[in-house]
Amino acid sequence: MEAARPLMLAVAIAAAVTLAPIAGAAGGGNASAAPGTQPDAARQRELLVLLKQDCGSCHGMRLTGGLGPALTPEALRTKPAESLAATIVYGRTGTAMPPWRRFMSEAEADWLVARMIDGATDVGPR
């Protein structure tokens, strides 16, 4: 386990550096979207890019599974959306799933879960 610490630290630092611009665009995290609202179009695009790039690094670039489970509509349809959003926001203790609350609000996590369940995760052109 001690040998894995430098690698885990490097991954955490790389994720923090990669996601810093996204956190800044979101107003620093939780305050970026009010509960029950949808993110604006620019933020929706940022969230979908985050899904494909950052979530995809563990869940597979096509979201079909990897270190983490598949995030396809078929894999998610039977799971409660609230539970999925909570997993995004708070992470999963004892697993490689980190909390993303520094980078998105609960409302944004809800929006992202709805896109994943619907299969509407393509990032459109700018």
Q: What is the pLDDT of residue 82?
A: 97
CATH code where residue 30 lies: 1.10.760.10
Could you tell me if residue 74 is inside a domain? Answer: yes
- The domain of 26 spans 2-118
Could you tell me if residue 24 is inside a domain? Answer: yes
Residue 98 has pLDDT above 50, yes or no: yes
- The tally of domains found in the chain comes to 1
Q: HSE (CB half, 13 Å, CA atoms) of 7?
A: 5
Long-range contacts of 64-67 (CB under 8 A, 24+ apart): 67/96
Q: What is the pLDDT of residue 122?
A: 83
CA distance 79 to 27: 30
Tokens of 2: 């001690």
121: pLDDT confidence band, cut at 50, 70 and 90?
confident
- pLDDT tens for 1-34 read 455 444 444 444 444 444 444 444 444 444 445 5
How far are the Cα atoms of 19, 23, 80, 81, 102 from residue 64, in angstroms, in the given order? 22, 26, 19, 18, 25
- Helix, strand and coil in the chain, % to nearest 5: 60, 0, 40
Could you tell me if residue 125 is inside a domain? Answer: no
Could you tell me if residue 34 is inside a domain? Answer: yes
